[in-house]
Structure 1
Amino acid sequence: MGESRIERQSLPSPRYEYGADDHVFVELAESMSFTANFKAQAITQEVRGRDLPGIVEVAPSNASYLIHFDPGQIQPDDLIEDLRDIEDEIDLTEYTWEARVIDIPVLYDDPWTHETLMKFRDRHQDPDATDLEYSARINGFDGPEEFIEAHAGAPHMVTMVGFVPGLPWTFQMVPRDQQIEVPKYVQPRTETPSRAVGFGGAFTAIYPVQGAGGYQLFGRTPVEVLDVGQELDTFADSMVLPNPGDIINFRRIDRDEYDSIREEVESGEYGYDIGTVDFEPEEFFERPESYTQQLTEVLD
């Protein structure tokens, strides 16, 4: 029996909105789908590549994007016309982009996030279960072990970066019927460890810094995704590691490997495992399982 295909979604006509005097917001769909996100990424990549006048910043999101522009160099209606032209020209069956595949080691059910989540059971849907136990149960898994295998069993696409600086939102690259979905806490926590791997809705996020949060806590990574001082070699060009369009491989590790990697990160000696691929949306839609396995083969 062949592998399942990813169903392409029919998108409505884009909705273009003004944001004060210097932003244009474009909604491609009301809900997240690979079709909407890939279209947002393709359009924003084209905007960057075409060097349009007055563009200050380009920010793709899950099913939309935002353009910050200088109104002294380009008028919003002219920019919208350019965006309409780009949208009409892009065909995802032919479009490709260069993507990084980034290995993110994760200590699932780690002591730090476990201690945190146990402090806030009164804010959780199921005070008598851990976040992993609850997430496994409502998704039909036999238990946390089977659930962790599913979460780490296929790579995740970075669909946007934001909410707090350097926080990647990732969407697992599997057919819709295999997507994990878990609600956020009933009330947010007032603390979350830095580098915690959390999950809300259908998105995995890595908390770049310590702070409040409402996502279910699954584990912790020993590596940084934000380096404000750009002290690590991998952050020489940007203080943020993952970019929209990158692919994350969440790799399960044990405590010994966690401690070893963390020691190398803190000493500045850790070398991130990052490969580069030409990502082809059409190949992903047609054969998601074998294609994503092929993508992760670029990692050491």
Structure 2
Amino acid sequence: MLKSLLINEKEWEAFFLSEQALTISPKGKFSLNDIHQAFRVLEGAGITGLVDIIPAYESIALIFEGIVHELSDAVDEIQKAIKQVDINEFETNTIEVPVCYKFGLDWEEVEANTALSQKEIIEIHSSGTYTVSMMGFQPGFLYLSGLHEALSCPRKTNPRTKIPAGSVGIGGSQTGIYAMESPGGWQIIGRTPKHFFDVLSNPPIQIRPGDRVRFTPITEQQFTEWED
């Protein structure tokens, strides 16, 4: 069963993800920016019973505190709430992320795959401005779009069982940041001392989908002395 709704004058379709969750997807042509704008509208709407909003590349999941009995009623409630939201009130932030590229674990593979030197890779990687496309896989893991095509690099054939928190990697046409220590298969080219997930903070993740990220090279000493 599907139910239509309008967000920012664009038609979306809603359907059940579970008894306590809905998925909404834009109809027709859309961009990642459409997803991010809809996310911010939903976030600012104060929808009754909504406890989490999870944007992905082509859809948004809406998680509710209780059971959603009727799709039509839930969508009507969402539509009513978002009519009160002005998208022009929202701004994206640009976050400067310090990176010590000396802590890269996969320079040999990345250099071989890109046919570039470590110095060239660092210069290109740190000169870009990236968009937080989505977060997933682990709390606070940032999927960042905007990687220069020259740095595109396949994931590792044999993933590591442990990657340090703060590791900055390349996976295909994206770059990303591991907010927590975990297994993973991205090519690690550096590490940031900046924290992206703190369970004691409210919210625990300060950065949001649609925000921008820029990387700044730092030394090992600066990494050690860094304070968030």
Q: What's the TM-score bracket when you normalise by the shorter of the two chains? A: 0.7 to 0.9
**In 2 relative to 1, CA 146–29 (structure 1 residues): closer, same or farther, beyond 3 Å?**
farther
Number of residue equivalences = 219
Contact 1:23 1:67 in 2 (8 A): yes
1:58 aligns with 2:63: no
For residue 81 of structure 1, report the CA deviation from its aligned partner: 5.1
Contact 2:166 2:178 in 1 (8 A): yes
2:171 paired residue number: 200
For residue 221 of structure 1, report the CA deviation from its aligned partner: 0.8
Cα RMSD of the aligned pairs, angstroms, is 3.4
Between the aligned residues of both structures, percent identity stands at 23
1:103 paired residue number: 96
The letter of the residue matching 2:111 is E
Contact 1:104 1:221 in 2 (8 A): yes
Aligned pairs (5 A) from 1:1-300: 14-28=12-26, 36-70=31-65, 75-80=70-75, 97-110=90-103, 113-114=104-105, 117=106, 130-137=108-115, 142-172=116-146, 178=149, 180-230=151-201, 237-261=202-226, 265=227, 270=228
Q: TM-score, normalised by structure 2?
A: 0.79
Contact 1:190 1:211 in 2 (8 A): yes
Q: TM-score, normalised by structure 1?
A: 0.62
**In 2 relative to 1, CA 241–22 (structure 1 residues): closer, same or farther, beyond 3 Å?**
same
Question: 1: distance between equivalents of 2:147 and 2:154?
Answer: 19
Question: 2: distance between equivalents of 1:179 and 1:45?
Answer: 32
Unaligned regions of 5+ residues in structure 1, if any?
1-11, 118-128, 231-236, 271-300
Larger RCO (alpha carbons 8 Å, 6+ apart): 1
Q: What is the SS of the residue equivalent to 1:238?
A: coil
- The structure carrying a bigger strand percent of its residues is 2
Question: 1: distance between equivalents of 2:77 and 2:35?
Answer: 15
Q: What is the SS of the residue equivalent to 2:190?
A: strand
Unaligned regions of 5+ residues in structure 2, if any?
1-9
Question: 2: distance between equivalents of 1:86 and 1:134?
Answer: 52
Question: 1: distance between equivalents of 2:171 and 2:82?
Answer: 30
